[in-house]
């Protein structure tokens, strides 16, 4: 029987840093009631996972997909990757530079988007935040590090893309954001949110400005928080209620 959503956490190394452990334990605290899958290279000894997530599923893939950012991108544009998770209608990709503040996962699934991640805002977005937004005609890059994906439409999109164009030359999340001109002919195959709605899902760059645009409310989660203004995030992450 298909469930609504599963958490998919890619890990490529045996030893996790303190910040990665913090991210992972926060995921367990907030989203621990959902099915959790760890995506691992074949042969990896996952001692930390065995200790802290004994009931989580482990999905192994060839180690060649975990050697670089480019090889990881190849994994996430392979339809067979998503076919491993067809027991869920949606999957939440949760890399270990992500952090979630509260459980809104079902609510985001119910919105029915095929892909959503933290939008990469540019100056034009916060200077003209009240302009009409057309996700199809004016797409914005949405990062895949913390991203919700509807499995069946993603598989269909990838099958069509590979049939028409072959390989994808850039980051996987830019393909699903339909951000690059090469993917633009397929833009109607994926239902995407406006950048402002995506901002309520997750922040990445410019978190202070993002918080202002989002009405002073924290998003569901954030990505790359240790890279983009970690001092901004510290009081929220130190708050024991989060």
- Determine the Cα–Cα distance for residues 212 and 14; give it in Å rounded to an integer: 39
- Determine the Cα–Cα distance for residues 135 and 111; give it in Å rounded to an integer: 15
Tell me the average pLDDT across 119-125: 79
- Determine the Cα–Cα distance for residues 233 and 94; give it in Å rounded to an integer: 18
Tell me the average pLDDT across 175-183: 78
**Whether the predicted pLDDT of 89 surpasses 60:** yes
Q: Which two tokens stand for residue 157?
A: 């999109």
Task: Determine the structural domain holding residue 220 and report its residue range.
Answer: 3-238
DSSP class of residue 184? G
pLDDT, tens digit (0-9, with 9 covering 90-100), for 140-168: 889 999 999 999 999 999 999 999 988 88
Q: Are 224 and 97 in contact (CB under 8 A)?
A: yes
pLDDT, tens digit (0-9, with 9 covering 90-100), for 8-58: 999 999 999 999 999 999 999 999 999 999 999 999 988 889 999 999 999
Residue-level pLDDT at 241: 65
Q: What is the pTM of this model?
A: 0.93
Which of 9, 218, 232, 205 lies closest to 123, judged by CA? 205
Cα 59–60–66 angle (5° rounding)?
120
**Residue 202: CATH number of its domain:** 3.90.550
Instruction: Return the SS3 of 70.
Output: helix
Residue-level pLDDT at 130: 58
Residue-level pLDDT at 59: 97
User: What total of structural domains would you count in the chain?
Assistant: 1
- Determine the Cα–Cα distance for residues 197 and 11; give it in Å rounded to an integer: 29
């Amino acid at each position: 029987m298909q469930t609504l959503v599963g958490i998919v956490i890619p890990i490529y190394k045996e030893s996790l840093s303190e910040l990665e452990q913090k991210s992972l334990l926060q995921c367990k605290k907030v989203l621990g009631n959902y099915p959790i899958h760890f995506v691992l290279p074949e042969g990896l000894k996952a001692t930390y996972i065995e200790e802290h997530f004994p009931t989580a599923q482990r999905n192994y893939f060839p180690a060649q997909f975990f050697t670089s950012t480019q090889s990881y991108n190849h994994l996430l544009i392979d339809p067979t990757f998503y076919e491993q998770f067809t027991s869920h209608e949606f999957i939440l990709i949760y890399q270990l530079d992500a952090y979630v503040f509260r459980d809104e996962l079902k609510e985001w699934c119910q919105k029915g988007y095929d892909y959503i991640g933290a939008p990469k805002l540019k100056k034009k977005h916060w200077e003209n935040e009240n302009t009409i937004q057309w996700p199809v005609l004016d797409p914005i890059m949405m990062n895949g590090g913390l991203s919700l994906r509807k499995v069946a439409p993603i598989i269909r999109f990838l099958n069509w893309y590979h049939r028409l164009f072959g390989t994808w030359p850039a980051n996987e999340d830019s393909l699903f954001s339909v951000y690059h001109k090469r993917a633009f002919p397929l833009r109607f195959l994926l239902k995407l949110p406006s950048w402002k709605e995506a901002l309520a899902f997750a922040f990445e760059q410019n978190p202070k400005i993002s918080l202002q645009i989002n009405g002073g409310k924290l998003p569901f989660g954030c990505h790359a928080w240790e890279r983009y203004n970690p001092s901004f995030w510290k009081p929220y992450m130190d708050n024991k209620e989060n």
